[in-house]
A and B are shown apart, each in its own frame.
Chain A
Amino acid sequence: QQQVKQSPQSLIVQKGGISIINCAYENTAFDYFPWYQQFPGKGPALLIAIRPDVSEKKEGRFTISFNKSAKQFSLHIMDSQPGDSATYFCAATGDAGNNRKLIWGLGTSLAVNP
């Protein structure tokens, strides 16, 4: 119940295309869903995050769509650029206390071809 399932494992998109990465969860106690971007040799960096009281959040070219009833959320990268080539992780947290540990998806390796 603590798992976050992420797909696809890898994704190749042409420059200017839309990249879509999907995640699903089971634990209804989760209340915060961040997406992290990781470049090789670097730590994960927060890209965008959403809470379950909204269905969509957009920041620039990045949009999270959230479907609470289906327990799914997705990351859309519009007008994908070669600089977006990285590994993307979805995560979730929802500890009742202050711990707020992150439960991670397996990651998606995105390659944007020029």
Chain B
Amino acid sequence: EPEVTQTPSHQVTQMGQEVILRCVPISNHLYFYWYRQILGQKVEFLVSFYNNEISEKSEIFDDQFSVERPDGSNFTLKIRSTKLEDSAMYFCASRPSSGNTQYFGPGTRLTVL
């Protein structure tokens, strides 16, 4: 069964450094999302992406964040200058053109020191 994959599973970085989190959505899906989950808290929407552009972004998704679909398979989230409060689990999700179900990857745990 097709699944969303994410790499790396765990990323440790120093505050102020740039990180790129990678996702490979399910191949025939057209809608892509990033969510984050701070330890012990609820899942929060960051950004949605469709037709090679951002559809919507939350207030969390400030100028330090960017997303890109550099080729036909990868979907990346870049944080330019990480802060301590960026430490969280980041989930990528994808959704087909029809239907509401979003399929989630296993997540990348980002630890900012």
Contact = CB atoms under 8 A, between A and B. Distances in A.
B80 to A, nearest CB: 23
Interface centre among B4, B33, B104, B107 (most CB of A within 10 A): B104
Contact of A46 (B44, B103, B106): B103
Interface string A30-53: 001010100001111110010000
Contact of B107 (A42, A97, A104): A42
B29 interface: no
Interface residues of B, number: 24
B33 A32 contact: no
Interface in B15-67: 31, 33, 35, 41-45, 48, 50, 55-56
B14 interface: no
A104 B104 CA distance: 14
A49 B103 CA distance: 13
Nearest to A32: B100
Contacts of B41: 106
B33 A101 contact: yes
Contacts of B33: 101-102
A25 interface: no
A101 B104 contact: no
Contacts of A43: 4, 6, 91, 104-107
A34 B100 CA distance: 9
Contacts of A36: 104
B95 A101 contact: no
Contacts of B48: 99-101
8 contacts: A41-B107, A43-B104, A44-B91, A46-B101, A46-B102, A99-B31, A99-B50, A101-B48
Interface of B: 4, 6, 31, 33, 35, 41-45, 48, 50, 55-56, 91, 95, 100-107
